[in-house]
Amino acid sequence: MKKWASIVLTAFMAVSLLAGCGSKETDSNTTAKGGASSSDKPVELAFWGDWAGEGQKQFETMVDAFNKSQNKIHVKYVLQQDMITKFMTTATSGGESPDLVFWDRWRTSLYAPKNVFHPIDEFMEQDKINKDDFYGEALKELSYDGKLYGLPLTVDARALFYNKKILDAAGVKPPTNWDELEQAAIKTTKWNGSKLEVAGFSLADNGLFNMYLQQTGGQMLDETGTKTNFNNEKGLEVLNFWDRLLNKDKVYKIGFEQGLGEGTDAFVTGKLAMQYTGPWMLSTYKKYGKDLDFGVVTPPVGPNGDKGSVMGGLGLVIPEGSKHQKEAWEFMKWWAANKDNALLWAKTSLNIPGFKPAIEDPFFQNDPLWKPFLDTLEFAKIRAQHPGYSVMEDDGLIPNLQLFQQNKMSAEEALAKSQQRGDQLLQDNAAVK
């Protein structure tokens, strides 16, 4: 889904955190599934994921820490390039199933009805894991039909990044609402004749329509959760705002960032004053933006004061076909439901963990760049839990939004066509096959 940056932990940090895991004594009294005794070889677990490179090193840091914390279970990370296809093949053909899968949470409502995951509700109850320790929206995204299928490893949401130097030079403060955002974008935009040199605000990602719609007080699907709900005054308010920024205020030009050249980041190079992006970019901008002085604020509220951002993130799930579901749960619990280990993961991967107690650590509380994201996560909402939602958004909505941004379609026409196509896609994908 995204590329994540990583840091190298010091020996002191690794040792101190591992010492605090406190799982050796507990696990030494745990009998492995099938009646294995302490003298038997450890149960081998296969943990599938699709993170390579630095991401793979981050996973292996957690796997190694768990393996060293006890002697009953041994986890091995297995990199899978086409993970979903391979996983579904094993799930439907009776092949050798992994024991845990690294899971993009939004896919849960599409795959859980296929009975390929093992619910963890009994495990949660037996071990008295408090659901309130996790972000409710993240648990909701890992649930289907009243059952919980995994625990969140990461949570994220978009916030507004701004270039301090550019805003200071223009005499504007970080915006808190749409009007302030528009005025700040106007004042920080620089044209040289017909050439845009500095864009005040990026409108490159029209997939953020959902976030803007929330900021108008709207929502993507109606109360039944089966039909679109954006072809109305709320959706029109979003597109009129975009139209103003693009065609009246001219704070951005479609294709501007791609036109800067491959591998060139407009924000790092000072060609962009403000943009929406997520916490995964913090380490990247700190590392590569040597001359970049940036700040982050929560997303500006809409015309009526409505807040909005979309929560995303990743988690762990246990396949129904795993032969070692109890042991898989022990690893999941150790990683995702333990403050020290969730914090180790956060410092290793520079992600916000799904386990709230870990966020109380000074690592997050004393760094002002994390605060806007933590504040945003308090009101961010997950995408609608309809099996066809992603298809509706990708194939029914976004293509029409692109035509609108290119001035090839009016706002009214774009919303009407998106509703027509979107409702059909939701209907076609309502039944899981």
Which percentage of the chain shows pLDDT scores above 90? 83
How much is the pLDDT for 371? 96
Residue range 383-412: mean pLDDT, rounded: 96
Q: Is the pLDDT of residue 143 over 60?
A: yes
| String of DSSP letters for 36-71 | B-TTSPPEEEEEEE---THHHHHHHHHHHHHHHH-S
| String of DSSP letters for 16-38 | HHHHT---HHHHHTPPBTTTB-T
> Greater confidence, 52 or 291?
52
Residue range 347-369: mean pLDDT, rounded: 96
C-beta separation of 396 from 422 below 8 A: yes
Query: Do 11-156+312-377 and 159-310+387-428 show the same overall fold?
Result: yes
Q: How many residues does the chain have?
A: 433
160: three-class secondary structure by DSSP: strand
Task: Specify the fold of 11-156+312-377.
Answer: D-Maltodextrin-Binding Protein; domain 2 (3.40.190)
Q: Give the whole-angstrom CA distance, residue 346 versus residue 344.
A: 5
Q: Which of 148-152, 379-383, 427-431 has the lowest mean pLDDT?
A: 427-431
Q: Give the whole-angstrom CA distance, residue 109 versus residue 112.
A: 6
Q: Which of 165-174, 255-264, 380-389 has the lowest mean pLDDT?
A: 255-264
How much is the pLDDT for 399? 98
Mind listing the pLDDT tens digit for each residue in 154-183? 999 999 999 999 999 999 999 999 999 999
How much is the pLDDT for 404? 98
Neighbours of 290 (CB within 10 A): 7
User: What φ, ψ does residue 101 adopt, rounded to 5°?
Assistant: -130, 135
How much is the pLDDT for 31? 40
Amino acid identity of residue 274, one-letter, is: M
Residue range 32-48: mean pLDDT, rounded: 71
User: What φ, ψ does residue 314 adopt, rounded to 5°?
Assistant: -125, 165
Band of the pLDDT at 40, cuts 50, 70, 90?
Answer: confident
Q: Average per-residue pLDDT in the chain? A: 90
Q: Give the whole-angstrom CA distance, residue 158 versus residue 298.
A: 8
- E strands of 124-242, at which residues? 143-144, 147-148, 150-152, 154-155, 159-163, 190-192, 195-198
How much is the pLDDT for 433? 64
Residue range 19-47: mean pLDDT, rounded: 56
Of 7, 252, 284, nearest to 161 by C-alpha is: 284
417: three-class secondary structure by DSSP: helix
What is the domain partition of the chain in residue ranges? 11-156+312-377, 159-310+387-428
How much is the pLDDT for 261? 67
Amino acid identity of residue 382, one-letter, is: I
Q: Which CATH superfamily is domain 159-310+387-428 in?
A: Periplasmic binding protein-like II (3.40.190.10)
- 93 CB contacts (<8 Å, ≥6 apart)? none
Q: Give the count of alpha carbons within 13 A of 305, CB side only.
A: 0
Amino acid identity of residue 38, one-letter, is: S
Q: Which of 20-34, 48-62, 419-433 has the lowest mean pLDDT?
A: 20-34
Band of the pLDDT at 259, cuts 50, 70, 90?
Answer: confident
User: How is residue 356 written in tokens?
Assistant: 């709230």
Let me know if 80 is exposed, middle or buried by CB neighbors in 10 A (0-12, 13-18, 19+): middle
Q: Is the pLDDT of residue 14 over 70?
A: no
Mind listing the pLDDT tens digit for each residue in 183-219? 999 999 999 999 999 999 999 999 999 999 999 999 9
Band of the pLDDT at 32, cuts 50, 70, 90?
Answer: very low
Amino acid identity of residue 98, one-letter, is: P
